[in-house]
Structure 1
Amino acid sequence: MIPPKPTPRPEKTSLRNYVKLFRKDILSAQPAKLYRAWMADYKTPFFRSFLVNQPTLVKRVLNEEPMNFPKSGRVAEGLRPLLGNSVFLTNGEIWLKQRRIIDPAFEGGRLKDTFPAMLGAGQAMVARLKDQTGAQDGPLDIEPYASEGAADVIFRTLFSIPITHDTASKVFEEFQGYQRAQPILNIAAFIPLPKWLPRFHRKKTRNGAKAIRKLITDLTAKRMAEIKAGTAPDDLATKIMTTADPQTGERFDTEEMVDQVAIFFLAGHETSATALAWALWLLAANPEVQDRVAEEALSLPDAPTFSDLSKLRFTKDVFRETLRLYPPVPMMVREAKCPVQFRARNVPKGAQIVLSPWHLGRHEIFWDRPHEFDPDRFKTENGKTCLRDAFIPFSSGPRVCTGAGFAMVEGPLFLALLLRAFRIETVSGKTPVPVAHLTVRSKDGIWLKLTPRERAFRG
């Protein structure tokens, strides 16, 4: 089965219609030619935008000259109410300082240290689904369960509390409403506005962001007090809040930490959830692949350890192939700090440089059978080459996602726990249609039928 993708827009369209399509869904607003283009540009009355697919140019922007292509302030406008000055939005010296404080928490043995928390969250998700399938013998939308499971990982690894904790559950509930209310771009992404002019965020967006930040502030302030009292648990929040910038000696204050926790929650929860949900649908639609993942999963001990993850080689390739087809963040936008030339074309200062994991991962020149689901492709020469040159779901270079290693542990682990517990099937008439809001979700959910694996084996 060919995995679904959005219907692209007509080749030519008005700026007004493009903005309307873009705010509704970033993917279907793009023309089909981008799956074959080395580069494409788009002019508006206010700025010029270049989408770059050529691997050498992608590496130039992300790896070789990242300070010459900072994060676009246009995109930041829409996320500012929730993320403030988080590391996801900042540039220059502020961003460098933030990374110097944050990065040590994700180095060395921290993945191994956080594995028990990930495992506990995965087992809790399996238990919730067992309760649900026991009470209701029918299809269910897996996206809410994936979201809850991914949020559980964030709270357990950051603050040593499960999703059932009162504050954690309130943050999760508020974020579900925020995700539905927040368009991927604010109007300031299309029209330059003076700094003093309001940004016209929707009321639901403003209220949701305010509520989430208040709850995170409460968690952060409590942790600050525990650190001072010497009673704080040794988790990611404590590690980040007690790490000083090696150059300035400064630490995050409460507001700065709230900004970072907001992006950890957004990036670590929302992106992991959408990747997991798409992976489960792909496995349901490809039973022979599902059987191979289940075989690996059933080879794990009842209480797997971090070292047991090495047995999930094929499962990891399944998750990697999911990220190729459905990268949670479909597009990243940088800004040219000074005039440059790309493919003999002049790129003016201030131009928007769009890097698209979605189009790069499905590029019809680079990949063999780019729109097909084939986890074995990474064993081929084409797959290995494209993995190096045309695969950027976590970005690349100095701004690569700090949680990339976490994601590549959490995703395969959750798939293994779920596939050894359930056999999964697609639901007739419920083929998911991908749309991009904050991340690449399905328009009407991802519906699956789960059968406890003991029953499935009995026939």
Structure 2
Amino acid sequence: MIQPPKPPSRPDKVSLWQYAKLFREDILSAQPARLYRAWMAEFRTPFFRSYLINQPDLVKRVLKERPDDFPKSTRVNEGLRPLLGNSVFVTNGDVWKRQRRIIDPAFEGGRLRETFAAMWDASEAAAARLDTKVGQEVEVEAETSHAAADVIFRTLFSLPIEHHLARGVFEEFRAYQRSQPILNIAAFIPLPTWMPRLFRKDTKQSAARIRALITELTQTRADAIAAGTAPNDLATKIMTTADPETGERFSTEEMVDQVAIFFLAGHETSASTLAWALYLMALYPEWQDKLADEAQVLEACDFGVMSKLKLSRDVFRETLRLYPPVPMMVRENNCPETMRKRDVRKGSQLVISPWHLHRHTRLWDNPDGFDPGRWHTENGKTCQREAFIPFSAGARVCPGAGFAMIEGPLILSRILRDYNVTVGPEPVPVAHLTVRSKNGIHLKITRRER
């Protein structure tokens, strides 16, 4: 059976500085093969200790049972602050809880139905763009990035990607995505708060330009809300929602922080998963044909059609398993812990890695194989509950998880309804801000014969 590609394994033992260099270049290929079968692994540096935890009950303890005792690590988040400021992605404690109280109502179940028309229009636009490239080899990460950014702006600000501000954010973000490593030196060396952080000049400049464009979008929307002319989209919902405990709303600066993470999380993660899903469909044409047949129900904009895209949902979920867009999450324990009879000191870094957990050889049947049918097996159902966390889990689960599980299968099905994809060069997964291909994902696009 053809297996999806895995990143190359590194030697099990490397020096701290070798590991730091590998980690900076690519977080995935820095990981030794033994971590795919370990329940827990310890990594020591002169400054702190970190622990990779794959054992489901330990993951549950950290993410679900006691999230306040295991806040997000500020070390890892340092690298994202030029763009994200104090967004909900990087904050902890009472600040984070206040932000979620304001944000969560915008993503409640009923809102998915309200945003579906915008997703539908974005999927139609994505198909139309591909129609101009029939017969060509296409770099599909660029196409899925375009489509996912279009979804974000249509649902958040009721603007298509062609709007000059939306396009400006999208184009500037493409430069930022490749310039920003997932970790900077603060992840390895504890720096005092007064010391300037070391960011590449182009990274800081790109982040500043993105935030300036988002500020203009946000201020324009605030003016429309004041005038009573704002559309009823996600931005309006969030900006007009008051914290039920304090009555406060987001300031313009706070809203810019949140829009930045909505764009990063909602655009980057969806684009990554869609691109890998298309690659897998090219690799497994029998599944591609199944999804194309199923997609014939996509005739008119009707939210009810999503209940009929069952195979597409299974394929998208399997893609999230094999290529989780956020490969690692880092927490920090606030108090001494004991895990697998090890004493874990206060302040240690706890790494929860969907990349390893989703391919763990002691949990999953055929962990490296592509098998969308696994979700209907006993092993698949058990692992979905205990070892499948593409959107994190517990209190900090991504508020847009339900959003992504509508958007992804819809766009995937819409593309495959009309087009066939065939494989090009084998892509190599690497981690930038999300799991991408080292040199892009190149597929040939042809028109599907019905």
TM-score, normalization by structure 2? 0.99
Question: 1:344 aligns to what?
Answer: 341
Q: Counterpart of 1:104 in structure 2: which amino acid?
A: P
Structure 1 residue 186 displacement after superposition: 1.1
Following superposition of structure 1 onto structure 2, how do residues 27-46 of structure 1 map, counting pairs within 5 Å? Answer: 27-46=28-47
Following superposition of structure 1 onto structure 2, how do residues 289-438 of structure 1 map, counting pairs within 5 Å? Answer: 289-298=287-296, 300-427=297-424, 430-438=425-433
Following superposition of structure 1 onto structure 2, how do residues 185-196 of structure 1 map, counting pairs within 5 Å? Answer: 185-196=183-194
Following superposition of structure 1 onto structure 2, how do residues 171-210 of structure 1 map, counting pairs within 5 Å? Answer: 171-210=169-208
Cα distance in 1 between the residues matched to 2:413 and 2:31? 35
Cα distance in 2 between the residues matched to 1:245 and 1:92? 15
Q: Counterpart of 1:9 in structure 2: which amino acid?
A: R
> 2:215 aligned to 202, 214, 217, which one?
217
Cα distance in 1 between the residues matched to 2:406 and 2:147? 14
Cα distance in 2 between the residues matched to 1:241 and 1:140? 38
Cα distance in 2 between the residues matched to 1:339 and 1:280? 45
Question: 1:452 aligns to what?
Answer: 447
Cα distance in 1 between the residues matched to 2:136 and 2:232? 42
Q: Counterpart of 1:418 in structure 2: which amino acid?
A: I
Structure 1 residue 304 displacement after superposition: 3.6
Look up the SS of the partner of 1:147 in the other structure.
helix
Q: 1:219 to 1:201 in 2, by over 3 A?
A: same
Are 2:423 and 2:442, in contact at CA under 8 Å, matched by a contact in 1? yes
Are 2:133 and 2:445, in contact at CA under 8 Å, matched by a contact in 1? no
Structure 1 residue 138 displacement after superposition: 2.4
1:306-335 CA-to-partner distances (Å, cap 9, x unmatched) read 111101111100000000000000000000
TM-score, normalization by structure 1? 0.97
Q: Alignment identity in percent?
A: 67
Consecutive unaligned residues of structure 2, counting only runs of 5 or more, are: none
Cα distance in 2 between the residues matched to 1:228 and 1:379? 50
Structure 1 residue 301 displacement after superposition: 4.1
Question: 2:120 aligns to what?
Answer: 119
Structure 1 stretch displaced more, 255-264 or 418-427: 418-427
Misfit runs of 4+, over 4 Å? none
The alignment of Structure 1 onto Structure 2 pairs a total of residues equal to: 449
> 2:224 aligned to 220, 223, 226, which one?
226
Look up the SS of the partner of 2:430 in the other structure.
strand
Structure 1 residue 140 displacement after superposition: 1.1
Q: Counterpart of 2:371 in structure 1: which amino acid?
A: D
1:165-194 CA-to-partner distances (Å, cap 9, x unmatched) read 000000000000000100110111111111
Q: Counterpart of 2:374 in structure 1: which amino acid?
A: R
Cα distance in 1 between the residues matched to 2:184 and 2:445? 38
* 2:56 counterpart of 1:55: yes
Cα distance in 1 between the residues matched to 2:360 and 2:198? 36
Cα distance in 2 between the residues matched to 1:391 and 1:159? 31
Following superposition of structure 1 onto structure 2, how do residues 151-170 of structure 1 map, counting pairs within 5 Å? Answer: 151-170=149-168
1:412-457 CA-to-partner distances (Å, cap 9, x unmatched) read 0011100101011102xx0000000100000010010111113xx5
Question: 2:277 aligns to what?
Answer: 279
Following superposition of structure 1 onto structure 2, how do residues 18-33 of structure 1 map, counting pairs within 5 Å? Answer: 18-33=19-34
Q: Counterpart of 2:125 in structure 1: which amino acid?
A: A
Cα distance in 2 between the residues matched to 1:363 and 1:295? 33
Superposition RMSD in Å: 0.7
Structure 1 residue 55 displacement after superposition: 0.3
